[in-house]
A and B are shown apart, each in its own frame.
Chain A
């Protein structure tokens, strides 16, 4: 379905067709103005230079004697504020790059300061609190996509660091629950995608990072028992099912067949999550949602995640090669059979004929 199809069907509000066309073309214009590779370059540069800047400031202030946690927080907030102000000016690429580095260094310094203030409590708790406080502020004040991505990314890094260092199941569960709720909110179409895309991608990467930590640790636990051992199957199942929820929302009202297909998909996703492949379940769910939304960016992320988690799952699976081999061959034959049945189905043939026509 294209814009012209909407126009031909007469579904567009008559006196606002030009406005709709303008909005659609504006997306392309924005992409031409700052292509995603350029944004990636700026983001990468911000991390590189930001780490140097943090090193410089930390050493500088340690040379002049400690300024204390509050001093670092004030310095960090000043840098961040300057960065955001500079970005709003939108003058030049170098200034943008400099502003991103200032913001990154600001986040870093504020986190270091907060860690000093909260010293004696959990590691990374200060960073998490600062990130939670700054994230909505930065997101609201700065419209720069890289900065928005960075603000959510920092929060995830702090939350997962806290969960891992303190072996805190509650932090992990709360992070994942909030992440899942946010993903549902965006993917079910309740919020403007162009505004929330950086937050969505950062959240998805955060969820995948959490799944990665869990999947990697769970199988090779020879030296310690992971803190999420008890909750692992439940988390896996909930995450697998959680990504089916937006799919259900998008496909609702499609009739009994659709509900049945969705139920089978949910069963597969939940079972995969429960039996040790939470990342695989999440990636499969995201792949389906991305397809239902015709979102190629999300689809690509999901395919990469699926590949990584499949390798991780089979690499760490604590069974003999023979069992791995048989289970892989069995799953392979079953999915190939399914593929063959779809190919042979009348509906598929009709569909191909219609597409060709």
Chain B
């Protein structure tokens, strides 16, 4: 359970509002990266108590991330700063989603080594114990506020009746251009996703080119953290998109996996659209 209100525990507790410790701060901040599969929470914690920090190092207590939406989910952290991956199927982010860190005892904790307590408690510290699973502290609360979609102008279409093939994919400096021999092929007026197959083909073409351009000599793989950020144009957009979606490496072998990671169900949306049209054909 997340602690939203103060209450009197039968032992000292480390929070941002209690005076049980002489000095007591327990804050955390998060950054979030997401792709079609999971959320990646990057967590940074500020904790003033060296007593608790020592217990964490000794693994006598654990730091737990609690994500409360419809129900509570618990994710132990490996340290004050950690990255937690949560599949999108496991949590939903909405206005009611609330997060908090808590410190929980993994075994009975004695307070005799705790010199940070306030005057009242310090006189009893040798005799004070917190049982296993007891909460030793809780942090500030972080609530989900809003999400903004940023789209990328990656694709252009053109009609060219003189095309030698039915369609043609070309990479320009800013975009992936799909040429159609006639405008019927563009399905104007039908739901967008019906063009997703072309988008997929275009994306694959552009990513292949990305690998060819950015792989080190003798290497078949591009490590996105190692290369210089492309300066402008199409490759900059692709680079940003991949970085934002948590892609670390790309090669000829994982192109489809990368497309899946950086996009939102291109083929599923195509399938639903076609099925929908089939269902409403009258």
Q: Do A and B bind each other?
A: no
Q: Hey, which bits of chain B sit against chain A, CB under 8 A?
A: none
Q: Hey, which bits of chain A sit against chain B, CB under 8 A?
A: none
